[in-house]
Structure 1
């Protein structure tokens, strides 16, 4: 076959594809590096060097020596490990059996149960803590009711309350991870062990659980990291029980002038131990081979009426307890009140008060989040394209850097940004811009991961055809590739949106009066005992989360968040 003659001066398809390496995508790579260096690397380097600064401005190791010498400091690290470890174990004990029953048996109302579990995960942890204060605080509804029966029970305050709230908040990580693994496990291995006479319990312990260990450990890692980094729950429930995020925050914003160097030291230590935990999990998973053929996926077992009812009730117990905080907040927001005191009956007083007193916080939350999500969607899709279609050493470095904030506590991110941008030439402290930057840096990994997953499924030939017709690379991406990616990307983008509107820890460090958001205002209302207005604001966040979750489920369809 004769080759079609090439018009004089017109580049071939191969030449066009080579040229794309040096035009639009080169510019994108350059911009991504500028962004990473400015808002991830530079703040982290500033934070690290600031941890070695003495009170007179010189170099010192005293901050680190003080951490290990002074019990007040290193005890906070031990406290963080204690509550995070216990919460992780409890979450595994709740989430694993729940996932097993939900995936292996035909229980009733499975979709509703999954919705309840996911809702409990996507609501902010501090709202759960606040709700449990209303229920089981010193004068909580449940506490008073049980005391009237003559039974004395401890309140939710203290380290045990923190562990319980963490476990109920984060066990959905275990549930979702383990559910996905159990749906794809190769049942031939279980059937072979059954034919050898293994009991059901031994088969579960020696075959099923080892096969899903990588997924289970990934879920456990998520629970541990979320608990280790959380600020709101220990702050509301701790009553003097210090963990590292609280200690770093207090050192940074102390009324006595603060100690930024010690706050930086605590932040560096948090990042160090978070990284150690992450790599430890990867090391243990990599030691063994967990691969399966996946040829025979499990069949959902049909149950007789009585066992079906019993298992349905069993799975709805933890799901109902974990969704209780959202229901409590909703009911409390409609209680009649006079000032901070509740009365019998219902009213809209709390909602009237928030729209009269703190409308700016509501406007700030949605405007900052909308702007952040627009940036995250566009940047996330572009970065995903670089990671999938433009693989090289430069893009591999991008993949590692953009995921660093994923393991950083929000408090640490906030402190690092203030240290980096609190002095010329660029001063961002006290502006809304620094909040948007923090949200984008911390939440964009969700969008990047959903974008890369979609892009792996798209055939490269569509883009090549567009380029061969003379369409520039930038136009090809936005008119062709971007449109094909959009439905799958949006589910990850909505997850970024939900976590952004609920963000507390980084916001609490970075905001000032005029840039307060709903989450910060709820935190302030709870500390001043204005539970009605706090509940009304929390209900707005809960309703937004629910609507966003339903939209994400609709957009993702069979690919993503299945309810």
Structure 2
């Protein structure tokens, strides 16, 4: 048996017998090991060194002992948990109304909700500063009419912004589940005398728990990992990503070892939450036949108008940040002060002062998306058509970026590539690699979804006619995958051009992007130019979303 296994290993490493897909698998493994496993390993090792460079558990001891550190972890859990609860309270009723009743303007509401999700959280934070900050126009208005209101700053403001930003995750997940639920179970509950609210709480919500928990996990992870919103609104309220960033990049020289420790703790917490969600889902069986999907209930005029108004109100409130930055970008400003009248001066100023940031954003993102599309299609084919223990391990490896906050990724890459033999810090290459690593899993998921729907017989027919497998993929399979892959890639493009948390760690002056520049403009109270740059991102997001909708055969009906 041992001799046979040795022969198997030797045969596997006989490169002459490898085909194109074997080399693809090898190349992807090499990429993942170089830019995910190695940086994480460097981060972990670095966390065990103290200030003197000696191996020690002092950093972890300090985290557990010093209130300054462990309070940041508690703050992260507090704002993330509260944001998740409020997102559920907003997203579930909205999804129920949209899927079960014949409310008006469904397409418009859906577009507004998706637009609010795809806009970066820090733009929402910036917009609410303009409205509800210490000198915001809504703050001044409330003071003038005698309503006591301080400002949007602090942990309550962070929860408020996170809720409006991330409830679409709940809405989209729950909407899909409610459309496919088996209504016979609800009818059985009704026949037993349960009213509508009791049916919802005892039958409907428990049945969609796996989907609801997946959406809640997305909200929690996004809130837990976000850097921009707490940084803009916190005003002394520290969460773990901010603390890790400040420990790493400090005017007093920084403490990379402690930053590494905080980053490791961030990953451990994110991973624990992920496994906890999977554990609760796996405890029960949620299988349904799905033979009797729910019908849309016709409402009388008054309830229909009220529910439509309520759904539109939620969608419009979540779109206020985008509308605010667009409008204020055309108002005359002088530093932090807005003056009456409209002007294009803010746009003229950014074209004069920071044109490089605009060019960088789109060029870096374009290079990243090209790499993601090619890699995503190739990796998807390996995962779907060449299933083995090796590809299963690769699929698990690709899950790591899901639980890696952008700040942690940036810190790990600097630690790994700030010394020979490979020095990437200070170059645009490290930004592109970071974008690819963070967004590649999403492109792969959209590619595998399309590939699962394609019949193998098309490829087999091509190969039987003498076309090599590699050529068959690029001439046949790849072309069939292209529409779905491109629509998914455009959504990755949107998140890439808006990326802040990893960019803020990895950039230097010449490689600054729009998101980093907005962050700098807000902190220096240049609100007009910040609004102009944010408007460019918002318009880019809208155009990209419309293109994705055009490419997707299913449109926006997620």
- Cα RMSD of the aligned pairs, angstroms, is 1.2
Instruction: Specify the alignment match of 2:159 in structure 1.
Output: 163
Counterpart in the other structure of 1:4? none
Q: Shift of the alpha carbon at 1:20?
A: 12
Name which of 73, 77, 93 aligns with 2:73: 77
Q: Paired residue for 1:203?
A: 199
Separation of aligned partners in 1, 2:117 and 2:20: 39
461-470 or 348-357: bigger deviation: 461-470
Q: Which of 244, 258, 276 is residue 248 of structure 1 equivalent to?
A: 244
Question: Equivalent residue for 1:453?
Answer: 449
The 5 Å alignment of 1:501-516 reads 501-516=497-512
Aligned to 1:562: 557
User: Does the CA-based 8 Å contact 2:376-2:447 persist in structure 1?
Assistant: yes
The alignment partner of 1:258 has SS state of coil
Instruction: Give the direction of change, closer, same or farther, for the CA distance of 1:21–1:220 in structure 2 (3 Å limit).
Output: farther
Tell me the alpha carbon deviations over residues 298-319 of structure 1, each in whole angstroms, 9 at most, x when there is no partner.
1111111111100001111211
User: Quick check: 1:99–1:175 contact (8 Å CA) kept in 2?
Assistant: yes
Query: Residues 335 and 525 of structure 2 are in contact (CA less than 8 Å); yes or no, is this contact kept in structure 1?
Result: no
Number of the residue aligned with 1:138: 134
Partner of 1:224: 220
1:391 to 382, 387, 396: 387
Which residue of structure 1 lines up, in the alignment, with residue 5 of structure 2? none
Give the corresponding residue for 1:148.
144
Superposed displacement of residue 154, structure 1: 2.5
Give unmatched runs, 5+ long, in structure 1: 1-18
Match of 2:82 in 1: 86
User: Which ranges of structure 2 fall in alignment gaps of 5 or more residues?
Assistant: 1-14
TM-fit CA distance, 1:21: 7.8
Q: What residue number does 1:323 align with?
A: 319
1:480-525, Cα deviation, whole Å (9 max, x unpaired): 1100001111121111100000000000000000000000000000
SS in 2 for 1:561: coil
Give the one of 387, 390, 409 matched to 2:405. 409
Q: Distance in 1 between matches of 2:420 and 2:238?
A: 34
Equivalent residue for 2:345, pick from 336, 344, 349: 349
Q: 2:58 corresponds to which residue? A: 62
Matched, 1:258 2:254: yes
Q: Deviations over 1:419-469 (max 9, x none)?
A: 000000000000000000000000111100000000001111111121222
Would you say 1:179 and 2:179 are equivalent positions?
no
Q: C-alpha deviations, 1:363-399, integer Å up to 9, x for none?
A: 0000000000000000001111111001101111111
Partner of 1:267: 263
Counterpart for residue 492 of structure 1: 488
Is residue 2:545 matched to residue 1:549?
yes
Rounded Cα–Cα distance in structure 2 between residues aligned with 1:358 and 1:97: 43
Moved more, 238-247 or 330-339: 330-339
Aligned: 1:99 with 2:114: no
CA distance in structure 2 between the aligned counterparts of 1:21 and 1:304, rounded to whole angstroms: 70
In structure 1, the partner of 2:434 is 438
SS of 1:337's partner is: strand
C-alpha distance in 2 between matches for 1:267 and 1:32 = 25
Once the two structures are superposed, residues 79-120 of structure 1 have per-residue CA deviations (whole angstroms, 9 ceiling, x without a partner) of 000000000000000000000000001111111111111111
Q: 1:210, 1:338 → 2: CA distance?
A: 54
**What is the TM-score of this pair, normalised by structure 2?**
0.96
State the partner residue of 2:362. Answer: 366
Runs of 4+ in structure 1 over 3 Å off: none
**Counterpart-to-counterpart distance in 2, 1:204 and 1:342:** 48
Q: Is the counterpart of residue 281 in structure 1 residue 266 in structure 2?
A: no
Distance 1:554 1:337 in 2: 38
Q: Residues 168-215 of structure 1: CA distance to partner in whole angstroms, max 9, x if unpaired?
A: 100000000000000000111111111121111111100000000000
Give CA deviations for 1:41-77 in whole Å, capped at 9, x if unaligned: 0000000000001222221100000000001000000
Q: Is the 8 A contact 1:406 1:443 kept in 2?
A: no
Map 1:293-308 → 2, pairs under 5 A: 293-308=289-304
Task: For residue 342 of structure 1, give the secondary structure of its aligned residue in structure 2.
Answer: strand
TM-score using structure 1 length: 0.95
Q: Structure 1 21/365 Cα, relative in aligned 2: closer, same or farther at 3 Å?
A: farther
Shift in Å, 1:150: 1.6
Alpha carbons 1:380, 1:451 under 8 Å: kept:
yes
2:114 pairs with 101, 115, 118, which one? 118
Q: Distance in 2 between matches of 1:561 and 1:420?
A: 40
- Check the 8 A contact 1:553/1:562 in 2, yes or no: no
Contact 2:84 2:220 in 1 (8 A): yes
Distance 2:16 2:519 in 1: 49
Equivalent in the alignment of 1:338: 334
